[in-house]
Amino acid sequence: MEKDPLRDLRNRNLRNIAFITVIVILGLILLQSWLGGGKTKNEIQYTLFTTLVENDQIVSVSIKDNRAEATTVDGGTIFVQLSPDGTSIYMPLLEEHGIQVSFEPATESNWFLTIVISLLPVLLIFAVFMYIMRRTQGGGALAFGQSKAKLVRPDTTKVTFDDVAGLVEVKEEVGEIIDYLEDQKRFSRLGAEIPKGILLVGAPGTGKTLLAKAIAGEAHVPFFSISGSDFVEMFVGVGAARVRDMFEKAKASAPCIIFIDELDAVGRKRGAGLGGGHDEREQTLNQLLAEMDGFQPNKGIIILAATNRPDVLDPALLRPGRFDRRILVPYPVLKDREEILKVHLRGKTIAEDVDTGVLARQTPGFVGADLRNLCNEAALLAARKNKAVVDMTDFEEATDRVWLGLKRKSVVPTEKERRITAYHESGHALLGHLLQREDRSVHKISILPRSYSMGVTQSLPLEEKYLPTQEEYKNELVCTLGGRAAEELVFNEFTAGSSSDLRDATSLATRMVIKLGMNEELGPISLGRERVDVFLGEEIVKSHEHSEEIASLADREIRGLLIRSYEKAKQLLKKHRAALDRLASEVLKREEITGSELDALFAELMPAPAV
Ligand code: ADP
Ligand code: ZN
């Protein structure tokens, strides 16, 4: 269930009101006892006082604020609250007994007290208001409209390019910015224009924030960071005020870097979206645009912004003079993953057997944040097991955790399901072993249930690091369909476990036929809607109109390719049925086979990789 933030806010405010009331009352009590300090001792009742007067025990009385301080015959002092009905009640009695009476003016502090008490409701309302302000923006009580930008001073920035692994081209690209921040005069003297705004485009966790920090660290300049979502508040005008405030602060500490994370939160196309409530965001965006236009290029402020969705940004943000430079922060490839792992293994005690190369191979699709997570998780696992060092088994387990979610040990698949899964995965693996290049051979088969799949067979993605040939694409199709082929061959039925394989195979076949020209009748042609990489920010562009005839020919080609691949998978598995059975039974027995064990098993099953 979603939390209702407003309700949350109200609850907190109620608690705050109660808290403030208690504080105020306590304060008043303190004030009262301070003003009337000491006078509560020797307090007697009015009736006792009159008795003392009647018995001539009182010498003199000093009256102030309807209270009497009386001196007794034996020199003591007593206090009494006099009758509220005024002097006419007790004066005759005092006079009758010849007591000296003096009056003192009422204390001014009581006036103060009266004022405080009468102002109490106003004070309370004010206090509540201040608390609401605080809650809505998290800053100090008076920080309404101030930006929430976090400032990292150069002397505390410890992030450098050393902490950023991989991203070689990106680092080269931003080198110029560092030079500029270090010595702006040199640039302005030559009239060189440095971009004001740079958009870092890439998936979450690929290191955009890290990179921005490292730029600031390398250039030894302050680093302001704020998230686009921090600008978006429920009160109209607050976001704009914060933008203004942030730029003011930045100008005061130039040269510096402003880093806006999640730019899309504030920079979406104006007028887009459903329903109302966009006034605030549009005002904020307008303010941001105005501020960016408002300072001269060579003022020493560089704005870096990060987004995963450049396609939804308002075009105005991307105009010259704003975020007109774009840097793509890519997913880390194999080599980079290894580098990133090394960065995060610094300072951890790891066993000799930990091979970052193998780990990098097992983690295609992981971004920097995932890899850091992996290293952390491995260390935690080792610690939980009281190990002295983190070893490879910890990393293997951590990989599974991070990638596929925690193993659901409690969910036990039926024996039949386990058998089907074992054959399915063995089908993929065996064909992979037969058809794939040596360096991307299968490195893991597992039938341990995961959070979203029954089993897994891992090998390196085809297009990871080289240019595959048509032959390799075709083999990839055969391997992808191998799971379903094994199911059909052995059990003569299909399960839902093949649906993602079918989807992958279909999209690969489609790509081959209409994009890569790997077809028989269609020829070297690229068809259909071109989806330009969203990271380059273009919308989907229709590149080609084509006839119905060509479309149906393409469909036939795709289908033919899939059917032929599937037949080939079945036929190969039939031929190697004995190996398939052995492999499946080993998998069933061991649940998970990886790395060198798997290599050994394959070597035993089929000594020569003959197709
Ligand atoms: P983004 O801003 O792109 O979402 P972050 O910069 O916040 O990603 O990355 C999160 C964390 O992941 C970083 O603090 C860092 O520990 C790790 N990380 C990401 N990319 C890298 C990298 N290239 N080298 C080293 N660590 C990285
Ligand atoms: Zn499969």
The pLDDT value recorded for residue 340 is 94
Tokens found for residue 162: 């050393």
Could you report the per-residue pLDDT of 198-237, keeping only the tens digit for each? 999 888 888 999 999 998 888 888 888 888 888 776 666 7
Q: Is 591 left (phi over 0), alpha (psi -120 to 50) or beta?
A: left
Of the candidates 577, 362, 568, 571, which has an alpha carbon nearest to the alpha carbon of residue 471? 568
Region of poorest pLDDT, from 146-150, 189-193, 331-335:
146-150
Q: Please, are residues 583 and 429 in contact by the beta-carbon 8 Å criterion?
A: yes
Ligand 1 atom with the smallest distance to the CA of 329 is 3
425 catalytic? Reply is yes
The segment with the largest mean pLDDT, out of 235-249, 351-365, 419-433, 545-559, is: 419-433
Identify which of 371, 372, 535 to mutate to test ligand 1's pocket (most ligand atoms within 8 A of the CB). 372
Of the two residues 478 and 132, the one the predictor is more confident about is 478
279-300 mean pLDDT = 79
| CATH number assigned to the domain with residue range 415-531+545-605, chosen from the 4 options 1.10.3720.10, 1.20.58.760, 1.10.10.10, 2.60.120.10 | 1.20.58.760
Q: Taking residues 517-544, what's their average pLDDT? A: 61
Matching residue, tokens 């050393």: 162
pLDDT reported for residue 455: 66
Q: Please give the Cα distance from 82 to 235 (Å, whole number).
A: 56
43-103 fold: 3.30.720
pTM (two decimals): 0.52
- Which of 1.10.8.60, 2.40.30.10, 3.40.50.300, 1.10.357.10 would CATH assign to domain 334-404? 1.10.8.60
Distance from C-alpha of 589 to C-alpha of 426, rounded to nearest angstrom: 13
**H-helix or E-strand spanning residue 242:** helix 238-252
Alpha carbon nearest to ligand 1 atom 18, residue: 368
Any idea where the domains of the chain sit in the sequence? 5-35+110-143, 43-103, 150-272+280-328, 334-404, 415-531+545-605
What residue ranges line ligand 1, CB within 6 angstroms?
164-167, 202, 204-210, 306, 340, 343, 368-369, 372
Specify burial of residue 67 (Cβ count, 10 A radius: 0-12, 13-18, 19+): middle
Mean pLDDT for the stretch of residues 308-333: 84
Q: Which of 425, 476, 487, 557 is catalytic?
A: 425
| Element housing 569 (H / E) | helix 548-575
Question: Of 569, 576, 570, which is closest to residue 610 (Cα–Cα)?
Answer: 576
CA 475 – ligand 2 centroid, Å = 15
Rounded Cα distance, 474 and 190, in Å: 56
**Superfamily of structural domain 150-272+280-328:** P-loop containing nucleotide triphosphate hydrolases (3.40.50.300)
User: Which residues, in sequence order, are CB contacts of 413 under 8 Å at separation 6+?
Assistant: 421, 449, 454
Please check the confidence at residue 273 and state whether its pLDDT lies above 80: no
Q: Which ligand is nearest to the CA of 209?
A: 1
310-330 burial, b for 16+ CB within 10 Å, e for fewer? bbbbbebbbeeebbebbbbbb
Question: In testing the pocket of ligand 1, which one of 199, 210, 307 has its CB within 8 Å of the most ligand atoms?
Answer: 210
Q: What's the Cα-to-Cα distance from 548 to each of 527, 540, 545, 554, rounded to whole Å?
A: 12, 21, 10, 10
pLDDT digits (tens, 9 = 90+) for 132-169: 666 555 444 345 566 666 777 666 667 888 899 988 88
165 alpha carbon to ligand 1 midpoint, in Å? 9
- Do residues 147 and 243 lie in contact, with contact meaning Cβ atoms separated by under 8 Å? yes
Spacing, Cα 436 to ligand 2 middle (Å): 16
Span 81-102, average pLDDT: 80
Looking at mean pLDDT, say which of 2-6, 100-104, 568-572 comes out highest.
Answer: 568-572
